[in-house]
């Protein structure tokens, strides 16, 4: 399997080209830290409105990314993320939510999905795991934010189950990409985190954590999410996993852990351009 599935498109973002043939007009990827106007801890393409950066700089940065993707910012939708497992279906009436004021995003949720074209779903990251979902036969797209809390609450599996129950989608028709996040190389957690994992899902390949000493563990959050996805019925061949670590790749990404909390945010994004009739 190709590990480096997210490839640099320009200095502002990486794209997931492997999915280009699955849905016409699909735009999907992950931003970098370069190409913006923010300064200091947030240099330079900080896209988070909730990290004490200058709001006008963040809005300009968001416009820069939107233009690079040829997807107007007025058609983007953001969420007010709270490390939950709540997922909301949105449509064009939600366009613009959270684009200029963080608290105006879709309230208290960490997952978004839609069946409509012309709307870009987006969430903020600085180490947590971005999850991307598509069901091409149903023109469904989705995105989720999985820190350790969202991961052990099974936000990955809940997106799958939601599509099964509400959209009548078979799990075999769902494709998932696990984007750049902090890797097991850099993510050390304690017993509280490990004890929160549903051990019954850990039957799909190698263990996602390694014990160190004094109750500490190295945890591979990407691999743990893959376990939850497989447990929900997603075929292994339908899961793509990035090998990029946000903490290791200092020149490419912000990292909450590496930068001791004083840092910016990247965005995950997924949307389908509306067809243009000439």
Q: What is the pLDDT along the chain (278 residues), one digit of tens a residue?
A: 455 799 999 999 999 999 999 999 999 999 999 999 999 999 999 999 999 999 999 999 999 999 999 999 999 999 999 999 999 999 999 999 999 999 999 999 999 999 999 999 999 999 999 999 999 999 999 999 999 999 999 999 999 999 999 999 999 999 999 999 999 999 999 999 999 999 999 999 899 999 999 999 999 999 999 999 999 999 999 999 999 999 999 999 999 999 999 999 999 999 999 874 33
Listed by start position, the domains of the chain span 7-182+239-272
Domain topology for 7-182+239-272: 3.60.140
Question: 30 — phi, psi (to 5°)?
Answer: -145, 135
**How far apart are alpha carbons 243 and 63 in whole angstroms?**
28
Pairing relation of β-strands 239-241 and 175-178? parallel
3-class DSSP assignment, residue 151: helix
> 136: burial class by Cβ within 10 Å (0-12, 13-18, 19+)?
middle
Q: What is the pLDDT of residues 220-246, one digit of tens each?
A: 999 999 999 999 999 999 999 999 999
Alpha-carbon dihedral of residues 29, 34, 40, 41, nearest 10 degrees? 30
């Amino acid at each position: 399997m190709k590990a480096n599935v997210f490839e640099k498109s320009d200095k502002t973002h990486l794209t997931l080209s492997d999915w280009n043939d699955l849905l016409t007009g699909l735009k999907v990827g992950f931003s970098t830290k370069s190409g913006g106007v923010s300064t200091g801890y947030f240099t330079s393409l900080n896209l988070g409105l909730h990290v004490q950066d200058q709001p006008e700089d963040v809005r300009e940065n968001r416009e820069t990314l939107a233009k690079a993707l040829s997807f107007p910012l007025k058609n983007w939708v953001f969420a007010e993320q709270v490390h939950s497992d709540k997922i909301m279906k949105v449509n064009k009436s939600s366009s613009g939510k959270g684009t200029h004021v963080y608290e105006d995003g879709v309230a208290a949720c960490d997952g978004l999905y839609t069946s409509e074209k012309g709307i870009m779903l987006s969430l903020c990251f600085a180490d947590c795991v971005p999850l991307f979902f598509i069901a091409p036969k149903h023109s469904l797209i989705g995105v989720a934010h999985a820190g350790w809390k969202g991961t052990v609450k099974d936000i990955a599996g809940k997106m799958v189950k939601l599509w099964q129950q509400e959209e009548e989608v078979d799990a075999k028709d769902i494709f998932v990409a696990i984007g750049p996040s902090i890797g097991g190389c850099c993510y050390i957690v304690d017993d509280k985190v490990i004890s929160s994992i549903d051990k019954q899902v850990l039957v799909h390949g190698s263990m996602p954590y390694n014990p160190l000493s004094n109750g500490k563990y190295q945890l591979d959050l990407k691999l743990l999410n893959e376990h939850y996805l497989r447990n929900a019925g997603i075929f292994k061949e339908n899961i793509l996993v990035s090998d990029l670590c946000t903490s290791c790749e200092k020149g490419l990404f912000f990292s909450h852990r590496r930068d001791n909390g004083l840092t910016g945010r990247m965005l995950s994004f997924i949307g389908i351009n509306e067809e243009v009739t000439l």
